[in-house]
Amino acid sequence: MEPQETPAATAAAPAAPKHRSQHESWASPLSGRYASKEMSHLFSNSTRFSTWRQLWLALATAEKELGLPIPDAAIEEMKANLQLDDHQMKLAAEEEKKRRHDVMAHVHVFGLVAPTAAPFVHLGATSCYVTDNADLIFLRKGLDLLLPKLAIVIHRLAAFAEKYKDLPTLGFTHMQPAQLTTVGKRATLWIQELLWDLRNIQRARDDLGFRGVKGTTGTQASFLQLFDGDHAKVEELDEKVTAYFGFPFAMPVAGQTYSRKIDFDVLASLASFSATALKMATDIRLLCHLKEVEEPFEKDQIGSSAMAYKRNPMRSERVCGLARWLGNTINSARETAGGQWMERTLDDSANRRLTIPESFLTADVILTLLQNISEGLVVYPAIIRKHIEAELPFMATENIIMAMVRSGGDRQVCHEHIRVLSHQAARVVKEEGKDNDLIERIRKDEYFAPIAGKLDQLLDPKSFTGRAEQQVEGFITKWVEPAVAPYKEHIGNASKAELSV
């Protein structure tokens, strides 16, 4: 007897609808769910193709200024048609499907709306004139969007550090209780790494040059021919187009593409930032577990579908997940940079269409999350104090020994008394689950009578935090404030970060 097929096995797969709505196709959660409108728009097709047209306009304008017979009407037509409407986007898509070449598809459509300019669009250029120069423009603009957001996060965290600069809390090494620090001092550890990220991203931004006008293999041969062998005019053409887009310099040499090592350098700064975000969000998750600090939790927010009491740190968890993704995109950029053949290959194209936009959108999302978290962190001093009281008696033993010695006691004898009492208290904590009663044992021991009146002073948590408060103050004044000063206007105008979902 043949086995019977289950209904699930026999059911036909649902037919794909002829006209799909936006809910019937996969869309990146980065653009559809998380990222800002500004960053999403920067890497949109609309921005990409209008930027190509700006590049063609700049090239034709510079060529005309250097003597090529390009009519004024051609330049004016190009200026009037820098933006694409839906009809032009559709025509370009149809042309690309036919020609299998995106740049030539858009050359064709640009020529349709600017017919006088059609003979001069893309004159002397290779495809990478528009694709690579546009990518460099997007890299720079993307970094320009990220830098102020990063400065805002730093500013918000600095305010948090200042507020809690003198609130003692347990420090942890190996995730075991260690010497006390302060809540504000711990926050400066996050801020310091963010300052390094600010420096790295700014440096990556300032290092960007333009590919400029280099021709098919980077030799500028086509432009040398256009200008009848006049090397000076070719160099000036390169300089004019570069200046048009506000870049400080054109790369002195290039193949058909600019070196993909530039992508790697830029994405490396974002990957480094991802490590900072991962560390900070992980710390916050651990603090949430300890109930010492909580990330924002909205009035109607649900922590668990089953456990109604839960307050899951979903923002910090989302940061961790996205940071892992962002940190790994650098591997793709590295392999692409090292895998280019001679003057270029095309195996970089599809890869870069994913890694560059998604890296920027991911960094953008993480910064929004970090701002939202830093603006709404809740601290619970009572819980923090309770945790300190559970550990401080052990930490205070050295202070007690020194006080006894100053009162005339023998250090070795005192050490032995402390050792015996500490072990007794530890047994009560570990085996009976009771509070640490070491100090009460010390109070009752006649040996420690000479310092009985000093015990409360010796147990003041603030006496165990060293220079934490002063470190916070000096760090903010000397390092944080100068670093965020260039973004003062952005910080002043920034509203609170709201999460879309």
- For 301-331, write each residue's pLDDT tens digit: 445 444 444 477 889 999 999 999 999 998 8
> Per the structure block, which two tokens stand in for 122?
């893309």
Q: Of 41, 46, 101, 304, which residue is the catalytic one?
A: 304
Single pTM value for the model? 0.85
- Interacting residues of 197 by C-beta distance below 8 A, sequence separation 6+: 150, 269, 272, 273, 276
Residue with tokens 């700014």: 202
pLDDT at 6 over 60: no
Percent of the chain whose predicted confidence (pLDDT) is above 70: 92
Query: Average model confidence (pLDDT) for the chain?
Result: 87
Q: Identify whether the C-beta of residue 57 lies closer than 8 Å to the C-beta of residue 48.
A: no
For residue 12, pLDDT over 60 is answered with no
Q: Is 304 a catalytic residue?
A: yes
* 171 SS3 class: strand
Q: Residues 75-100: what's their mean pLDDT?
A: 90
Q: Is the dihedral of CA 73, 75, 80, 85 positive or negative?
A: positive
- pLDDT value at position 76? 94
Could you read off the pLDDT of 176-189 as tens digits, one per residue? Answer: 888 899 999 999 99
Band of residue 1 on the pLDDT scale cut at 50, 70, 90 = very low
pLDDT, tens digit, for every residue of 356-368?
899 999 999 999 9
155: annotated active-site residue: no
Quick one: pLDDT at residue 36? 84
Q: Tell me the two tokens of residue 76.
A: 């004016």
pLDDT at position 17, please? 56
DSSP character for 210? B
Is the model's pLDDT at 380 over the cut of 90? yes
pLDDT of res. 324: 94
Q: What is the structure's pLDDT at 391?
A: 83
pLDDT greater at residue 11 or residue 426? 426
Q: If we measure between CA atoms, which residue out of 298, 457, 462 comes closest to residue 384?
A: 462
At residue 375, the pLDDT reads 92
pLDDT higher than 60, residue 142:
yes
Whether the pLDDT of residue 222 is over 70: the answer is yes
| Single-letter amino acid code for the residue at 366 | I
Report pLDDT for 9.
46
Domains of the chain by start residue, with CATH? 40-120 (1.10.275.10), 127-210+255-298+308-380 (1.20.200.10), 397-458 (1.10.40.30)
Instruction: Summarize pLDDT for 248-307 with one digit per residue, the tens.
Output: 999 898 888 888 888 999 999 999 999 999 999 999 999 999 999 998 865 544 454 444
**Which token pair is 487?**
């973004």
Q: What is the mean pLDDT of residues 200-210?
A: 95
Catalytic option among 174, 289, 305, 495:
174
Token pair for 19: 């006209």
DSSP secondary structure letters along 224-268: HHHTTT-HHHHHHHHHHHHHHTT-S-B-S--SSS--THHHHHHHH
